[in-house]
Amino acid sequence: MRAICCLLVSFLFLEIGLAQDAHYWSTDFGTGGFFMPGSVIANNKDSGLYFYNPALLGMNHQTSISISASIYQYEAIKIPNGVGTGRSLNTTTIRAVPQMLTGSFFIKKNKKPLVIAYALIRDPGLAYSVSQRRDEQFNVLNDSYSPGPEFFVGQFVQQNLVGQSSAQVSSGLQLSSKFSIGLTLEGDMHKQNFNINYSARALVNPGGDTTFPIVNVEEYYLATYSHFGFRAKLGLSYDDGPHHFGLIAYSPLWHIGGSATIVGDEVINNLQYSGQDVFLNQLASARQTGVPVRWKMPVSIGLGYLYEFSGGQIYVAAEYFAKIGTYNIITPRDDYFIRPDTGTANQHTTALLTLQDERKAVLNVALGTSFLITPMVTGYVSARTDFSYAVRSLFETSQGFTNYTSYWNNLHWQLGANLRKSSYNLRAGLLFAYGSTDQFPQPVNLDDPSDTNALLGTTGNTRARHFSLGLMFTFMHNF
């Protein structure tokens, strides 16, 4: 009986993977975002001062300041059968977000300018908030103790808010007319608020073998944390006439510190176990603060090539991100959790409240072009892949929780133009992204809750879609 209680509580911890939270190239100022100033690996003679490849700073011989912002961004996630047939999990977000403030200056040394650049970057990430409910009379409980259809109320609520901010200092040095080298030092703050709440209740009909009035299953989990880390990026650049080559290499994220708060609450009342004449009543509840946090970023290597022709450029790039094995973002203390404590029930506390992460290797590619519209106006068009690194098998096997929503692969497009003046550059453009998957895992299924599946229903995979549209604005002032 003690083992049964522990196993059932483990089963009731819904393993839900819910920013964009599972993509490396979701930001519009990353290596695939040809529209943004300097956001390429190979040299594009951009007047911007923030460069994804710090080696390109060696080609930039002017002091500048720049600010970039999404002055309008619309994002929608639609999961039509998220928790059952016709019971969708949809969320939309409209926001205006300052994304990047940068500046640069150079120091002359031996007639070769050493360029120093700084950047403050805000990636708003994912804002996912959904709810769904079923309130009907249908057969939920075994007729041996509750004959006929029961009144059932099932309610599901979930929220996943993810954001990241970083501060960067970069330096680039032109070693020769063709070769440059650069280094970026980056401090990152990653924040997440992950919350799930599910309740399922069925009123017992009279006439059976029992006297209790209700069967109840409830699950609540909240994890909020902030993590601080540090990493470095090495950049190389080589130019040969119209041909431009670039390489970047990111270190893993080195841990500085972090803290989390977790809340867990599980309740089982009068639940028949596996059709046997055994009815369970159990409570598991905990709140922990100041829990250590660990957040990881993988080693990555990027390559870029740009060909310059009369009136324009063509640019291709690719970046490979290494795999990250299973680890705990949050490892709770093994405090008192399950009540009553039977002597062995609490030995699974840590596993049940853990927030876990695992990532598969990802290779993203980008293609962009620029072209002169007038002598003072340049047009930009780019496209890039943005594959999800979330591992679905972790959702299915983890005893605790996984923290992802974005199991879909995205494709991004950018279309914009740059107006060049002697003292400034003004750039604006449209940003599009679309992603979909038929393998989004249902957290619960309100189609067929029963006492045989702990009122969670029979879950499977369903379709999910993501779409975003934004208007980006960048102003660069040259001193």
pLDDT in tens, 136-178: 999 999 888 899 999 999 999 999 999 888 999 988 888 888 8
What pLDDT does residue 126 have?
83
Give the C-alpha separation, 352 to 332, whole Å.
Answer: 9
Give the C-alpha separation, 19 to 217, whole Å.
Answer: 29
Rg (CA), the chain: 26
Asked if residue 397 has pLDDT above 90, the reply is no
Burial 264-299 (b: 16+ CB within 10 A, else e): bebbbbbbbbeeeeebbebebebebeebbbbbbbbe
Give the C-alpha separation, 182 to 56, whole Å.
Answer: 7
What pLDDT does residue 54 have?
87
In the chain, what are the domains? 2-478 (2.40.160.60)
What pLDDT does residue 183 have?
94
Write the CB contacts of 206 (distance below 8 Å, at least 6 apart in sequence).
none
Give the C-alpha separation, 305 to 242, whole Å.
Answer: 10
Read off the tokens for 440.
């989004």
Give the C-alpha separation, 437 to 390, whole Å.
Answer: 12
Residue 142 identity (one-letter amino acid): N
What pLDDT does residue 121 have?
81
What pLDDT does residue 387 have?
94
Write the CB contacts of 36 (distance below 8 Å, at least 6 apart in sequence).
28, 29, 48, 50, 68, 100, 472, 474
pLDDT tens digits along 340-390: 766 565 656 677 889 999 999 999 999 988 888 998 898 988 899 999 999
Asked if residue 338 has pLDDT above 90, the reply is no
Q: Would you place residue 190 in the very low, low, confident or very high pLDDT band (cuts 50, 70, 90)?
A: very high
What pLDDT does residue 370 have?
87
Q: Would you place residue 4 in the very low, low, confident or very high pLDDT band (cuts 50, 70, 90)?
A: very low
φ, ψ for residue 7, nearest 5 deg: -65, -40
pLDDT tens digits along 400-426: 888 888 899 999 998 888 888 877 778
Residue 154 identity (one-letter amino acid): G
Give the C-alpha separation, 100 to 192, whole Å.
Answer: 20
Residue 371 identity (one-letter amino acid): F
Give the C-alpha separation, 305 to 377, whole Å.
Answer: 23
Taking residues 332-346, report their average pLDDT. 72
Asked if residue 434 has pLDDT above 60, the reply is yes
Other beta carbons within 10 Å of 177: 8
Question: In terms of pLDDT, which residue wins out, 57 or 255?
Answer: 255
Taking the alpha carbons at both ends of the chain, their separation in whole angstroms is 75
Read off the tokens for 78.
């639609």
Helix locations, 306-427, DSSP H: 349-353, 392-397
pLDDT tens digits along 9-20: 333 333 333 335
What pLDDT does residue 31 have?
64
- Residue 228: exposed, middle, or buried by beta-carbon count in 10 A (0-12, 13-18, 19+)? middle
Mean pLDDT of the chain: 84
Give the C-alpha separation, 360 to 358, whole Å.
Answer: 7
Read off the tokens for 399.
């005893």
What pLDDT does residue 399 have?
76
Q: Which of 223, 289, 225, 298 is nearest to 258 (CA)?
A: 225
Q: Which of 35-49, 299-313, 463-477 has the lowest mean pLDDT?
A: 35-49
Taking residues 203-215, report their average pLDDT. 87
What pLDDT does residue 12 have?
37
Place of tokens 């944390």: 225
What pLDDT does residue 342 have?
62
What pLDDT does residue 67 have?
65
Asked if residue 107 has pLDDT above 80, the reply is no
Question: What's the distance, CA 454 to chain centroid?
Answer: 30
Read off the tokens for 412.
């991004």
Question: In terms of pLDDT, which residue wins out, 423 or 203?
Answer: 203
Coil/strand/helix, residue 393: helix
Taking residues 56-64, report their average pLDDT. 70
Asked if residue 463 has pLDDT above 70, the reply is yes
Give percent above pLDDT 90 in the chain. 48
What pLDDT does residue 321 have?
96
Taking residues 126-143, report their average pLDDT. 93
State which of 40-44, 51-55, 239-243, 425-429 shows the largest mean pLDDT.
239-243
CB-CB contact of 322 with 367 (8 Å): no
Q: What is the DSSP annotation of 154-189? A: EEEEEEEEEEEEEEEEEEEEE-SSSEEEEEEEEEEE
